[in-house]
Amino acid sequence: MFERTERLLLRPGWAEDAPALQGAIADEGIVRNLAKVPWPYSLADAEAFLARDQTPSEPALLIFLRGGTAPELIGGIGFGRAPDGALEFGYWIARPHWGCGYATEAGRAVLKTARDSLRIGKLVAGHFLDNPASGRVLQKLGFRPTGKILPRFSAGRGEAVPSRLFDLELGEGETAQPARMAA
pLDDT in tens, 93-143: 999 999 999 999 999 999 999 999 999 999 999 999 999 999 999 999 999
User: What pLDDT sits at residue 178?
Assistant: 43
User: What pLDDT sits at residue 179?
Assistant: 40
* Residues in CB range of 166: below 8 A, 6 or more apart: 124, 125, 126, 127, 135, 138, 143, 144, 145, 146
| Cα within 13 Å of Cα(133), Cβ side | 14
pLDDT in tens, 64-84: 999 878 899 999 999 999 999
What is the average per-residue pLDDT within 1-23? 96
